Amino acid sequence: MSALIHELQRRELQEKGYTVLQNLFTPAEMAELASQIEDHQRRHVENLKAMGGTDGGISRAEEITFTDHLAENDANIMKFVKRDEFVDITTALLGPDTDLYWNQSVYKAGHGTKQFPWHQDDGYMNVDPSPYLTIWLAVNDVTVENGCVWFLPGSHLHGVINHEDTPIGKACYSLDDPDQGVPAPLTCGSAAVFWSTTMHKSGLNVSDGMRKGFVIQYCQAGLKYLHNQETITGLTPVARNNEAAQ
């Protein structure tokens, strides 16, 4: 039995493709995590500025930064992503053996002019088995005003949709479509949990402050690239046989 994933969360994930776990961590725990993340995020911003504001990817120094592989480069963050809460969630939803697939902070600056486009996480790299699990953790309060994540309920039921490259990331659905889904505001320490096939975007941050998120993705052990069925190496074990991996 899972202490965190109940019938409501299972039903919402099955029907809508996402669910919210309220108050998964305390504000004090998020303040500690933020202090660890921001050492890396600041260096990322400095590097982006040295390259003219962008590295050719989706990060833009003055707007939004995706600072990846934080856990692999910081022992404290690695300890965090292997906490018992994540062992519980991932084994309840993915099975007894789970790995850390990807992790990145997503910091969106205030007074933004661009939404992050509709996409599926699977749209960036097709893997097998799919879907894997994304946990979008609010490091501070995340609101509609400061650019929370939005979801298209039920979109995960259609599998992986064709994505097109845009200057601000891959896109599989128009920001001009009348149906723009539903927002998922989160209090500090809460998390949106969703499948890698669930379509989502993030809105504009029109506030004065920074919107801070930490995206942690978990998969079943033995994940492979879909195009060649080669096993993805170097992933960190999180759970084995429903217990925390050693």
pLDDT at 17 over 90: yes
The whole-chain average pLDDT of the chain stands at 97
CA angle, residues 30, 33, 36, in degrees to nearest 5: 155
Q: Alpha-carbon distance 71 to 53, whole Å?
A: 24
pLDDT of residue 189: 98
Span 15-19, average pLDDT: 98
Read off the pLDDT band of 85 (50, 70, 90).
very high
Span 93-98, average pLDDT: 98
CATH homologous superfamily for 7-240? q2cbj1_9rhob like domain (2.60.120.620)
Q: How many CA atoms lie within 13 A of 81 on its CB side?
A: 32
Nearest Cα to Cα of residue 180 among 149, 156, 142: 149
pLDDT of residue 175: 96
pLDDT at 1 over 90: no
21-63 pLDDT, tens digit per residue, is 999 999 999 999 999 999 999 999 999 999 999 988 899 999 9
108-165 pLDDT, tens digit per residue, is 999 999 899 999 999 999 999 999 999 999 999 999 999 999 999 999 999 999 999 9
Tokens of 123: 């749209």
Is residue 160 within 8 A of residue 215, CB to CB? The reply is no
pLDDT of residue 57: 87
pTM of the predicted model, to two decimals?
A: 0.97
**How many other CB atoms are found less than 10 A from the CB of residue 230?**
9
Tokens of 105: 């902070």
- What one-character-per-residue DSSP string does 101-163 give? EEEEEEEE-SS---PEEEE-GGGTS-EES---EEEEEESS-B-TTTT-EEE-TTGGGG-PPP-
Read off the pLDDT band of 104 (50, 70, 90).
very high
Span 89-112, average pLDDT: 98
**How many other CB atoms are found less than 10 A from the CB of residue 182?**
11
Tell me the CA distances in angstroms from 125 to 89, 153, 171, 187, 239, one per residue in order: 23, 22, 13, 30, 23
pLDDT of residue 56: 84
Q: Give kind and range of the element (H or E) at residue 195.
A: strand 191-195
Q: Alpha-carbon distance 130 to 133, whole Å?
A: 9
204-223 pLDDT, tens digit per residue, is 999 999 999 999 999 999 99
176-213 pLDDT, tens digit per residue, is 999 999 999 999 999 999 999 999 999 999 999 999 99
Q: Alpha-carbon distance 139 to 151, whole Å?
A: 19
Is residue 179 within 8 A of residue 129, CB to CB? The reply is no
